[in-house]
Structure 1
Amino acid sequence: MDASRVLRAHTISSGRAMKQALKKLVQRTGLQRKHLEAARMYGERHVLAFQPLRARQRGRILCYHSVGQPEFGVNDVSPDRFRRQIEAALEAGYRFVAPAEIAASGGHAKDLGVSFDDALKSVFTKADPILREHKIPYSVFVVSKWSEQTEEWQKAGVLSWDELRQMRSEGVELGSHSDTHRDFGEIDLERARREFQNSQDMMQARLGFRPEVFAIPFGQSKNWNPETDALAREMGFKTIYSQAEETRPPGTIPRTFVTHFDDPRIFKAALRGAYDRWEEWTWTY
C-alpha cells in the first residue's frame, strides 16, 4: 500500500473514532446538538487537512456566509481571518475572478471565486471593503423573505433591499437562495415551486431583475434531487450552485465551504482540495 493510501486509511479511521468519541461525550454530558455539531466540524476539518494534494484543472469557488456576525456560529469568519485568507490566496499566486466566470468555463486551476449565502449584513459592512481594496468581484445569494426584514433578527442581521440594490449597482452579482431557506430535499415539488416563484417575484419587484442564478440552501447532495433540479431550470434558473466538489448533485456548480474553524493551515488545505468530498452534515471520505 502506498503512502497516500496509508494516510487516507489512517484519516478515515481517525475520523470514525472521533465521531464515536463525540457521540459518547454527548450521551454522558447532555451537551446540546449545536455543541456536538461544532465539535464534530472542528475535528473533521483538522483531520482532513492532512489529505494529499488533489490534481486540479478548473477554478474553485469559495462559499462564505457572514464575516463578523458570531451569532451565525460555524458559518461565521471573523473580518481579520477573512482578510488573511484573501491575502494568503493572493500570495500563493491565485487570481480572483467572478464566480460566474468559473461557472461558465471552469476557469483555470489558480482561479478563485468568492460567494456569500444568505445575504447577511456583514457581507456589506465587513467583507465588501476588503474585497474592493483588492478589486475582487463576488456574488451574494439572497433569501428573499429574510430581506423583507419582518423580524427583528432580520433587521439587525440581514441585508435590506436598499443595501442589495446599492451593491448590485456597484457590480456585485446577486442570485436567489430561495424564499425561506427550506431544505429542497425534504419538500415536495409544489412547495419547491413556491420557493422559486416567490423568490423570483420578490427580486423582480424589489431589485428590478429576475434572477437566473440559484444557490441551493444547505447546498449538499441530500438537499437536492433530479426533479427539483428540472423544475428550477424550467422556471428560468440557468446556473445552480451547490457544494461540495466531488459529491454535488449532477449538473450543479461546486463550491468550497469556508468555516469558522478555518485557520491558515485548514484554509490552505481547502485550496488544495482536502475537503472536496466533505459535506457539512455528511462526511463521505
Structure 2
Amino acid sequence: MIQALKRLARSAGLERRHVEAARMFSERQALALAPRPSARTRGRILCYHSVGQPEFGVNDVPPARFRRHIELALELGYSFVSPAEIARTGGTARQLAVTFDDALKSVAAEADPILRAYNIPYTVFAVAEWSDHVHDWQKQQVLSWDDLGRLMEQGVEIGSHSATHRDFGELDEARARREFEVSRATMKARLGVTPDVMAIPFGQSRNWTPLADRIAREIGFTTIYAQAEDTRPPNTIPRTFITRFDDDRIFRALLRGAYDRWEEWTWVY
C-alpha cells in the first residue's frame, strides 16, 4: 500500500516536500480535533525557524501569524521567560519561551521587533558554516556573525546548531566530534563566546544518539535542546516544533499538549 502511494505521488509530479507538507498539514489538523488532557507542570519552549522566508517551506511562519501566536498566548494567560530559565528550572505550566533554529535573516528583520515590543527574551541557534556565508544562498538567507553579534549586544542568547547541520544519528565519533568542535571554535572566534548550549539539527528522536550526547557533553555542551517533546532523545530539553500551518486552533491545541507525542514525518521515496 505504501509503495503504491509513493508511485502515485511520483506519477502526479509531486516532490517529496509536497508530500511531506500535505501529510504534516493533515496530521496537525487531525490532532487539533482530538482533545488530549494534559497534566503538564513544566514550561513549554517553542521552536521556530524562519518568520517570513517562504522558501523554508513548512518551517516558515508568516510574520502576521507569528505575532498572533504571541498575542494569543498572552490572551490565554501565558507569560514568556527565557529558554534558559525553563531549561534550568523546568518552569511552570503557564510559562513559554521562544527559540529559533538556523539563525535565518527573518529572525532579526521580522521576529525581533515583535518580541521586543512585548519584552520577550529569546535564543537563536546558529549553524557555523551557514553564518560564515560559505555559499551564496547563505548570504541571502542566513544572519551573518556581525548580525548575530548585534543581537547578542541587545541581550539575545546565541547557541550552537552544529558546524554544518548534519544528522547526528548518522555520524560516527570522529565526524560528530568535528561538528561540535568546529562550531564552538567558530563561535568563539566570531562572537567572542564559547557556547555551552546547543540545539540538535532536525531534533527528532532518531537524530541523536548516546554517542553524540556523550561527545557533546565531553566537549562542553551542558544544555542540549531537542525539537520534540515526549519522544525526545534522553537527557535533552524538550521543545515544541511550530509550523506554517499553526493557526489559532492548532496553536491552542499545541499549548494544551496535542502534539507532545508527534514528530515531524519524513517520507523517503
Q: Provide TM-score, normalisation by structure 1.
A: 0.90
The CA deviation at 1:24 is: 6.5
Alpha-carbon distance between aligned partners in 2 of 1:28 and 1:50, rounded to the nearest angstrom: 32
For 1:51, the equivalent position in structure 2 comes to 34
CA contact (8 A) 2:132 2:144 kept: yes
Offset, 1:25: 4.3
- Report deviation, 1:234: 0.5
Q: Give the direction of change, closer, same or farther, for the CA distance of 1:21–1:258 in structure 2 (3 Å limit).
A: farther
Partner of 2:55: 71
Structure 1 residue matching 2:106: 3-state secondary structure: helix
1:28 and 1:205 map into 2 onto residues whose CA distance is 50
Q: Does 1:94 align with 2:78?
A: yes
Runs of 4+ more than 4 Å apart: 19-25
The Cα shift of 1:138 comes to: 0.2
The partner residue of 1:276 within 244, 252, 260 is: 260
Render the CA deviation track for 1:59-113: whole Å, top value 9, x for unaligned: 0000000000000000000000000010000000000000000000000000000
- Count matched residues: 266
Partner Cα separation in structure 1 for residue 137 and residue 3 of structure 2:
35
Aligned equivalents of 1:123, 1:251: Cα separation in 2: 28
CA distance in 2, matches of 1:30, 1:162: 42
Given the alignment of the two structures, is residue 33 of structure 1 paired with residue 16 of structure 2, yes or no?
Answer: yes
Query: Any conservation in 1 of the 2:20–2:266 contact (CA below 8 Å)?
Result: no
Offset, 1:51: 2.9
In structure 1, what is the Cα distance between the partners aligned to 2:227 and 2:17? Answer: 21
Q: Which amino acid aligns with 2:15?
A: Q
Q: TM-score, normalised by structure 2?
A: 0.95
* Residue ranges of structure 1 left out of the alignment (5+ in a row): 1-16
Kindly state the Cα deviation for residue 20 of structure 1 after the two structures are TM-superposed.
9.2
Residue identity (%): 67
1:204 equivalent in alignment to 2:188: yes
How far apart are the structure 2 equivalents of 1:220 and 1:159? 24
**Greater RCO (Cα-Cα under 8 Å, separation 6 or more):** 2
Structure 2 residue runs without a partner (length 5+): none
| TM superposition shift of 1:23 | 4.4
- Two-structure CA RMSD over aligned residues (Å): 1.7
The equivalences for 1:1-285 within 5 A come to 23=6, 25-52=8-35, 53-281=37-265
**1:73 and 1:282 mapped to 2: Cα distance?**
14
